[in-house]
Every structure is written in structure tokens, then in C-alpha cells.
Amino acid sequence: MVAFQGDVSEHVSAAEQIFGKGAVSEIRSAEDVSTCQGLILPGGESTTIGRLLAQRGVAAAIVEAVGRGVPLLATCAGLVLVSRGVDQGDVVPLGLMDITVNRNAFGSQRESFEACLEVKGFDRPYRAVFIRAPVIDRCGPCVEVLAMFEGRTVAAREGPVLALAFHPELTEDLRFHRLFREMVEAI
């Protein structure tokens, strides 16, 4: 769990419900990444998180780990950071998914909302929490779209990367964390 900024405690709590108490460690250095079987890149402010990842060498460690097949769950700002391109701002993306992202596509903090999504592979709708949420504008040919909202891609997967425009850690519904656990167990 990358722990520079954002919904760290909420993700830790959700992940521990799925993986077990004490199974989640907080990443603050490149060395921490090498011990992880799965990574979570949380929401927060993408420019700030991106700068901290680069300054502390964690960005390169994440790229290397994902290149080896280590699963990564990226939410909200994390989705922005795993992209190959961002529409605005000075975010330097990691290029882990063949997607282009529009930051804050759904508006400011005030325009935050919840919505029910039909998610590929889920047996019932998923209630998603969108906070200053991005949207995926373009998906490459190997990207699997998992959910859309109002005709816009809000959840996708490519190889070991699962990227969500919303915050699954803020709900009681742990299906995305379970999907992430399945990805970790498959390696």
C-alpha cells in the first residue's frame, strides 16, 4: 500500500478484511516495494503523489514490480498515475496501462457523487463513490473495460493492473478488493 497521501487507512482496513490482519504494509521507500506480492496506489492528489513517488525512487520500483507481474490496484489518483497520458496538469504518469485519462472529469469536490455500476464479472450492481473523479478517455487494444458510467470508462484492467476512477475503500462492498486478491493469488 503506497502510503504517501490519500485514503491510506481506508485501503489498509479494506485490504486487511480480505488478506488478513497484519498482511498489509505501508510503502514509503523503493525497498518496501520489493517485498510486496501486490500493490495498492490510492486516491489523493495525483500531482503530489506522483512527485513523491519520483523523489523517493518508488515510481521506478513500482514500474519494475508491475513489469514482473506484481498486481497493482490503482484508485482515483492512482488511475491517473498508471496511465500513459493525462489531459492536464503536470502529472508524470507511470505508463503502466495503455490508457489516457481526463483528471477531475466529473468536476470538483462539490460534484462528488455515488452511482450504481454494472461491472463485468459481478453478479449485481456495484455502488461506487466518485470524489473529484477522473475518467478514462482512451483505452488501448489490450485494455479490458470493466465498467462505464454515462458512456465513460471508469474501471479497467490490463495485465496485472486494475484501475478504478472511484473509491472502493469507502464502501462496505469489498468485491474489487476480492478481485485484487484473486489477481495476487494467481501469481
- Specify whether 139 is catalytic: no
- Specify whether 169 is catalytic: yes
| Residue in 187, 182, 179 with CA at minimum distance from that of residue 163 | 179
| Residue in 166, 165, 168, 172 with CA at minimum distance from that of residue 180 | 168
- Look-up of cell digits 498489509: 24
- Which one of 76, 142, 172, 185 is the catalytic residue? 76
- Which one of 11, 36, 158, 167 is the catalytic residue? 167
- Specify whether 76 is catalytic: yes
- Which one of 11, 36, 158, 169 is the catalytic residue? 169
User: Strands (DSSP E) along the chain, which ranges?
Assistant: 39-41, 72-75, 85-86, 99-102, 113-117, 126-130, 135-139, 144-149, 152-158, 161-164
Catalytic residues: 76, 167, 169
